[in-house]
Protein backbone atom coordinates (compact mmCIF):
# COMPACT_ATOMS: atom_id res chain seq x y z
CA UNK A 1 0.00 0.00 0.00
CA UNK A 2 1.45 3.43 -0.91
CA UNK A 3 2.36 5.94 1.76
CA UNK A 4 1.96 9.59 0.77
CA UNK A 5 4.70 11.75 2.26
CA UNK A 6 4.86 15.54 1.96
CA UNK A 7 7.44 18.17 2.80
CA UNK A 8 5.84 21.44 3.82
CA UNK A 9 6.44 24.97 5.09
CA UNK A 10 4.18 26.35 7.79
CA UNK A 11 2.73 29.63 6.50
CA UNK A 12 3.00 31.44 9.84
CA UNK A 13 6.31 30.28 11.29
CA UNK A 14 8.01 29.37 7.97
CA UNK A 15 9.18 26.17 9.69
CA UNK A 16 9.77 23.25 7.33
CA UNK A 17 8.58 19.77 8.23
CA UNK A 18 7.46 16.41 6.89
CA UNK A 19 4.09 14.67 7.19
CA UNK A 20 2.25 11.59 5.99
CA UNK A 21 -1.29 11.56 4.68
CA UNK A 22 -3.79 9.67 6.81
CA UNK A 23 -7.57 9.34 6.81
CA UNK A 24 -7.71 12.20 9.32
CA UNK A 25 -5.38 14.54 7.37
CA UNK A 26 -1.64 15.15 7.42
CA UNK A 27 0.20 13.62 10.40
CA UNK A 28 3.33 15.56 11.31
CA UNK A 29 6.47 13.41 11.40
CA UNK A 30 8.45 14.24 14.54
CA UNK A 31 12.10 15.20 14.13
CA UNK A 32 14.06 17.45 11.83
CA UNK A 33 15.01 15.66 8.62
CA UNK A 34 17.34 17.74 6.47
CA UNK A 35 16.56 15.77 3.33
CA UNK A 36 14.50 12.93 1.91
CA UNK A 37 17.35 10.44 2.38
CA UNK A 38 17.49 11.17 6.11
CA UNK A 39 13.73 10.71 6.39
CA UNK A 40 13.90 7.38 4.54
CA UNK A 41 16.59 6.13 6.93
CA UNK A 42 14.42 6.90 9.98
CA UNK A 43 10.96 6.34 8.45
CA UNK A 44 9.83 3.40 10.61
CA UNK A 45 10.53 5.17 13.89
CA UNK A 46 9.12 8.48 12.60
CA UNK A 47 5.90 6.84 11.37
CA UNK A 48 5.41 4.99 14.66
CA UNK A 49 5.91 8.21 16.66
CA UNK A 50 3.61 10.17 14.32
CA UNK A 51 0.80 7.67 14.83
CA UNK A 52 1.23 7.84 18.62
CA UNK A 53 1.29 11.65 18.76
CA UNK A 54 -1.46 12.15 16.15
CA UNK A 55 -0.28 15.75 15.56
CA UNK A 56 -2.42 16.80 12.59
CA UNK A 57 -1.23 19.62 10.35
CA UNK A 58 -4.15 21.62 8.87
CA UNK A 59 -3.71 21.71 5.09
CA UNK A 60 -4.75 25.37 4.89
CA UNK A 61 -1.90 26.33 7.26
CA UNK A 62 0.90 24.93 5.08
CA UNK A 63 2.51 25.27 1.68
CA UNK A 64 3.39 21.88 0.19
CA UNK A 65 6.97 21.83 -1.09
CA UNK A 66 8.90 19.56 -3.38
CA UNK A 67 10.10 16.46 -1.52
CA UNK A 68 13.38 16.67 -3.47
CA UNK A 69 15.91 18.62 -1.42
CA UNK A 70 19.05 20.12 -3.03
CA UNK A 71 21.21 17.18 -1.89
CA UNK A 72 18.86 14.58 -3.42
CA UNK A 73 20.01 12.23 -6.17
CA UNK A 74 16.95 11.37 -8.26
CA UNK A 75 16.95 8.24 -10.37
CA UNK A 76 13.88 7.81 -12.57
CA UNK A 77 12.54 4.96 -14.65
CA UNK A 78 11.20 5.80 -18.08
CA UNK A 79 8.94 3.85 -20.36
CA UNK A 80 7.91 1.69 -17.42
CA UNK A 81 4.30 1.08 -18.44
CA UNK A 82 2.65 0.34 -21.78
CA UNK A 83 0.68 3.58 -22.12
CA UNK A 84 3.82 5.66 -21.55
CA UNK A 85 5.64 3.69 -24.26
CA UNK A 86 2.76 4.21 -26.70
CA UNK A 87 2.74 7.96 -25.89
CA UNK A 88 6.32 8.02 -27.16
CA UNK A 89 5.23 6.44 -30.44
CA UNK A 90 6.72 3.03 -29.72
CA UNK A 91 5.34 -0.49 -29.42
CA UNK A 92 5.47 -1.91 -25.85
CA UNK A 93 6.20 -5.38 -27.28
CA UNK A 94 9.50 -4.05 -28.67
CA UNK A 95 10.82 -3.04 -25.22
CA UNK A 96 13.92 -5.11 -24.43
CA UNK A 97 15.44 -3.17 -21.51
CA UNK A 98 14.60 -0.85 -18.61
CA UNK A 99 15.37 2.82 -19.13
CA UNK A 100 16.77 4.73 -16.15
CA UNK A 101 17.82 8.37 -16.11
CA UNK A 102 18.91 10.98 -13.57
CA UNK A 103 17.13 14.25 -12.81
CA UNK A 104 18.52 17.24 -10.97
CA UNK A 105 16.70 18.00 -7.72
CA UNK A 106 16.22 21.55 -9.02
CA UNK A 107 13.95 20.17 -11.77
CA UNK A 108 11.35 18.98 -9.25
CA UNK A 109 8.86 21.54 -7.96
CA UNK A 110 6.07 21.71 -5.43
CA UNK A 111 2.43 21.52 -6.59
CA UNK A 112 1.87 25.29 -6.35
CA UNK A 113 5.32 26.43 -7.55
CA UNK A 114 5.72 28.51 -10.68
CA UNK A 115 7.34 26.55 -13.51
CA UNK A 116 9.67 28.61 -15.67
CA UNK A 117 10.21 27.44 -19.23
CA UNK A 118 13.67 28.52 -20.37
CA UNK A 119 13.96 30.24 -23.74
CA UNK A 120 14.41 27.72 -26.53
CA UNK A 121 12.83 24.81 -24.65
CA UNK A 122 10.00 23.31 -26.71
CA UNK A 123 9.12 20.16 -24.75
CA UNK A 124 8.63 20.52 -21.02
CA UNK A 125 7.09 17.95 -18.66
CB atoms within 10 A of CB 27: 22
Which among 3, 5, 1, 22 is positioned nearest to 66, based on CA atoms? 5
Residue 11 has pLDDT above 70, yes or no: yes
25 in a structural domain: yes
Q: Are residues 51 and 30 in the same domain?
A: yes
**Tens-digit pLDDT profile for residues 78-105:** 888 888 888 888 898 988 888 888 888 7
Domain that holds residue 45: 5-65
**Tens-digit pLDDT profile for residues 37-68:** 899 899 889 988 988 888 999 999 999 998 88
Q: Are residues 78 and 59 in the same domain?
A: no
Q: What is the pTM of this model?
A: 0.70
Count: domains in the chain: 2
Interior/surface letters 64-79, b for 16+ CB within 10 angstroms, e for the rest? bbbbbbeebeeeeeeb
Amino acid sequence: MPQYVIRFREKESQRIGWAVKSDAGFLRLPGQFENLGELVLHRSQALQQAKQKADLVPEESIQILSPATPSSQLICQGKNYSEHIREGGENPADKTFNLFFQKASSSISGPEDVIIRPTGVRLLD
